[in-house]
Structure 1
Amino acid sequence: MLDVSTIVSQLMQAEAAPLAKYDQKTASYQAKLSAYGSLSGAVGVFQASLGGLTKATDFKALSATAGKPEVLSASAGAKAVAGNYKINVSQLAQSQTLTTPGIASNKSSIGTGAKTSISFQFGSVSGGFGMAGTTMAANIARDGISNGSLTINGTAIATDSTTTSARALAEAINSKSTTTGVTATAQPAATSASLFANFGEVTTGADGGYTLSVGGVQLAAQGANVGAGAGLTAASIDTALTDPSTVLTALTNAGITISGTAAGGDLKFTRADGANLVVEEKVTGSPAAVTGGIGNGGGEVNGGSSATAVSGISLSSTDASPITIAGSNPTVAGLTAGTGGTYLGGTFTQDANIASGIVTIDSTNNSLEGIRDAVNKAGLGVTATIVSDGSANPYHLVFTSNATGANSSMKMTLSGNDTDPPDAALVDMLSYDPSGAQKMTQTTAAQDTKLSVNGIAVTSHSNNVGEAIQGVTLTVTQTGSSTLNVSKNTGTVKSNVESFVKAYNDLNGTLKKLTGYNADTKSGGALQGDSTAQSVQAQVRRMMTSTISGLSGNLTTLGSVGISFAKDGTLSLDSSKFSKALETSFDDIGALFGAVGRSSDTLVSFTSSTSATKPGTYGLTITQMATQGAMTSAAAVPASTTIAPNTTWAVTLNDGTPSNSKNTANVTIPAGTYTAAELAKVMQSSINGTSAFSSAGSAVTATIDTDGKLVLSSAKYGSASNIAVSSTSGTTTDSLFGGATPAAGMDVAGTLGGHAVIGTGQTMTGLAGTDVEGLKIEITGGAIGDRGTVSFSQGYAYQLNNLAATMLSKTGQITSRTDGINKSIKDVAKQRDAFADKLTGIEARYRAQYSRLDVMLSQMQTTSSYLTQQLASIAANS
Structure 2
Amino acid sequence: MVTRLSGFSNSGIDIDDTVKKLMKAAKIPQDKLKQQKQLLEWQRDDYRAINTKILTFRSAASDMTRQAAFQTKKSTSADDSVVSVTSTATAPEGIYSIKVNKLATSASVTSEAVGKSSDKALLNTIDAAFTKAATLSIGGEKGTATVVIKPTDTIAGLVAAVNGKTSTTGVTMSYDSTLDKFFFASSSTGSKAGIDLKMDSEENGHNLLTSVMKLTAASTPLSTDVVDKAKVITGTQAFATGSATLIDGSMATPQKFHMEANGQILDFDVSKTTTVGQLIDQINSSDIGKSGVSAYLDKNNKLAFNNPDKTKPVTFTDGTSDAYNLLDKLGVKTPTETTDLDFSSFKITGQKAEVEFNGATAQYDTNTFSISGMNITIKKAQATGATAVNITNTRDVDTVFNSIKSFVDKYNELIDTVNTKLTEKKYKDFTPLTDDQRTAMKDDQITTWEAKAKSGTLRSDSLLTSGLSSFRSAFSSAIEGLPVGNAKTLSQIGISTANISGTSVSGSYLENGKIYIDEDKLKKAIAEKPDEVMALFIANDGVKETDKGDGLARRLSDKADALFKNISAKAGITSSVDTSYLMGKTLKDMNKRIDNFNDKLEDLEKRYYNQFTSMEKYMNQMQAQSANLTKQMGG
TM-score (norm 2): 0.52
1:76 positional shift:
1.0
1:872 positional shift:
5.9
CA deviations on 1:29-84 (whole Å, 9 max, x unpaired) are 02211220221122133234336422112211113233444433323122213334
Q: Does 1:824 align with 2:577?
A: no
Return the structure number with greater strand share.
Answer: 1
Partner of residue 449, structure 1: 353
Question: What CA distance in whole angstroms lies between the structure 2 residues aligned with 1:560 and 1:591?
Answer: 13
CA deviations on 1:529-559 (whole Å, 9 max, x unpaired) are 4332233223323333333344335233222
- Aligned pair in 2 of structure 1 residues 520, 816: CA closer, same or farther (>3 Å)? closer
Question: For 2:285, what is the secondary structure of its paired residue?
Answer: helix
Partner of residue 358, structure 1: 263
- Aligned pair in 2 of structure 1 residues 548, 502: CA closer, same or farther (>3 Å)? same
Question: What CA distance in whole angstroms lies between the structure 1 residues aligned with 2:518 and 2:412?
Answer: 15
Partner of residue 799, structure 1: 555
- Aligned pair in 2 of structure 1 residues 488, 380: CA closer, same or farther (>3 Å)? farther
The amino acid across from 2:582 in the alignment is: G
Taking the TM superposition and a 5 Å limit, the aligned residue runs for 1:361-760 are: 376-379=284-287, 382=290, 415-416=312-313, 443-444=348-349, 448-453=352-357, 456-463=359-366, 468=371, 470-480=372-382, 482-516=389-423, 518=425, 525-552=456-483, 553-565=485-497, 566-567=507-508, 568-569=511-512, 570-594=514-538, 615=542
CA contact (8 A) 1:447 1:461 kept: no
The amino acid across from 1:513 in the alignment is: T
Question: What CA distance in whole angstroms lies between the structure 1 residues aligned with 2:525 and 2:310?
Answer: 63
Question: What CA distance in whole angstroms lies between the structure 2 residues aligned with 1:846 and 1:871?
Answer: 37
The amino acid across from 1:34 in the alignment is: D
CA deviations on 1:752-778 (whole Å, 9 max, x unpaired) are xxxxxxxxxxxxxxxxxx99xxxxxxx
- Aligned pair in 2 of structure 1 residues 373, 534: CA closer, same or farther (>3 Å)? closer
1:508 positional shift:
1.1
1:578 positional shift:
0.8
CA deviations on 1:73-117 (whole Å, 9 max, x unpaired) are 32312221333444320112457899xxxx99884699xxxxxxx
1:865 positional shift:
3.6
Using CA pairs under 8 Å that are at least 6 residues apart, name the structure with larger relative contact order, 1 or 2: 2
The amino acid across from 1:544 in the alignment is: F
Taking the TM superposition and a 5 Å limit, the aligned residue runs for 1:242-253 are: none
Partner of residue 91, structure 1: 102
Question: What CA distance in whole angstroms lies between the structure 2 residues aligned with 1:519 and 1:458?
Answer: 74
- Aligned pair in 2 of structure 1 residues 339, 91: CA closer, same or farther (>3 Å)? closer
CA contact (8 A) 2:99 2:356 kept: yes
CA contact (8 A) 1:70 1:478 kept: yes
1:428 positional shift:
10
Question: For 2:263, what is the secondary structure of its paired residue?
Answer: strand
Question: For 1:49, what is the secondary structure of its paired residue?
Answer: helix
Question: What CA distance in whole angstroms lies between the structure 1 residues aligned with 2:81 and 2:614?
Answer: 101
Partner of residue 833, structure 1: 595
- Aligned pair in 2 of structure 1 residues 417, 339: CA closer, same or farther (>3 Å)? closer
CA contact (8 A) 2:262 2:313 kept: no
Partner of residue 442, structure 2: none
1:18 positional shift:
0.5
Question: What CA distance in whole angstroms lies between the structure 2 residues aligned with 1:518 and 1:511?
Answer: 14
Question: For 1:452, what is the secondary structure of its paired residue?
Answer: strand
Percent of aligned positions with the same letter in both sequences? 24
CA contact (8 A) 2:477 2:489 kept: yes
- Aligned pair in 2 of structure 1 residues 452, 564: CA closer, same or farther (>3 Å)? same
CA deviations on 1:213-235 (whole Å, 9 max, x unpaired) are xxxxxxxxxxxxxxxxxxxxxxx
- Aligned pair in 2 of structure 1 residues 86, 798: CA closer, same or farther (>3 Å)? same
Question: What CA distance in whole angstroms lies between the structure 1 residues aligned with 2:263 and 2:480?
Answer: 59
Return the structure number with greater helix share.
Answer: 2
Question: For 1:58, what is the secondary structure of its paired residue?
Answer: helix
- Aligned pair in 2 of structure 1 residues 381, 458: CA closer, same or farther (>3 Å)? farther
The amino acid across from 1:574 in the alignment is: D
CA contact (8 A) 1:26 1:825 kept: yes
CA contact (8 A) 2:81 2:380 kept: yes
Question: What CA distance in whole angstroms lies between the structure 1 residues aligned with 2:426 and 2:17?
Answer: 46
CA contact (8 A) 1:63 1:487 kept: yes
Identify the range of structure 1 (2-11 vs 850-859) with the bigger mean alpha-carbon deviation. Answer: 2-11
1:590 positional shift:
2.5
CA contact (8 A) 2:19 2:609 kept: yes
Question: What CA distance in whole angstroms lies between the structure 2 residues aligned with 1:42 and 1:442?
Answer: 61
Structure 2 gap ranges (5+):
1-10, 110-128, 138-142, 144-215, 227-260, 267-279, 295-305, 316-336, 383-387, 430-451, 498-506, 572-580
Question: What CA distance in whole angstroms lies between the structure 1 residues aligned with 2:40 and 2:515?
Answer: 32
Question: What CA distance in whole angstroms lies between the structure 2 residues aligned with 1:484 and 1:106?
Answer: 57
Question: What CA distance in whole angstroms lies between the structure 1 residues aligned with 2:492 and 2:288?
Answer: 58
Structure 1 gap ranges (5+):
111-119, 121-321, 326-337, 343-355, 362-371, 387-396, 400-411, 431-439, 597-613, 617-769, 772-791, 874-878
CA contact (8 A) 2:283 2:289 kept: no
The amino acid across from 2:99 in the alignment is: N
Q: How many residues align?
A: 394
CA contact (8 A) 2:475 2:496 kept: no
CA deviations on 1:155-205 (whole Å, 9 max, x unpaired) are xxxxxxxxxxxxxxxxxxxxxxxxxxxxxxxxxxxxxxxxxxxxxxxxxxx
CA contact (8 A) 2:398 2:523 kept: no
- Aligned pair in 2 of structure 1 residues 798, 451: CA closer, same or farther (>3 Å)? same
1:829 positional shift:
1.7
TM-score (norm 1): 0.39
Question: What CA distance in whole angstroms lies between the structure 2 residues aligned with 1:373 and 1:23?
Answer: 68
- Aligned pair in 2 of structure 1 residues 93, 385: CA closer, same or farther (>3 Å)? farther
Question: For 2:606, what is the secondary structure of its paired residue?
Answer: helix
The amino acid across from 2:568 in the alignment is: T
Question: What CA distance in whole angstroms lies between the structure 2 residues aligned with 1:9 and 1:844?
Answer: 12
CA deviations on 1:319-338 (whole Å, 9 max, x unpaired) are xxx9979xxxxxxxxxxxx9
- Aligned pair in 2 of structure 1 residues 413, 804: CA closer, same or farther (>3 Å)? farther
- Aligned pair in 2 of structure 1 residues 525, 5: CA closer, same or farther (>3 Å)? closer
CA deviations on 1:431-466 (whole Å, 9 max, x unpaired) are xxxxxxxxx88744x754322345x23312333575
| Greater Rg over alpha carbons, structure | 1
CA contact (8 A) 1:97 1:398 kept: no
CA contact (8 A) 1:77 1:471 kept: yes
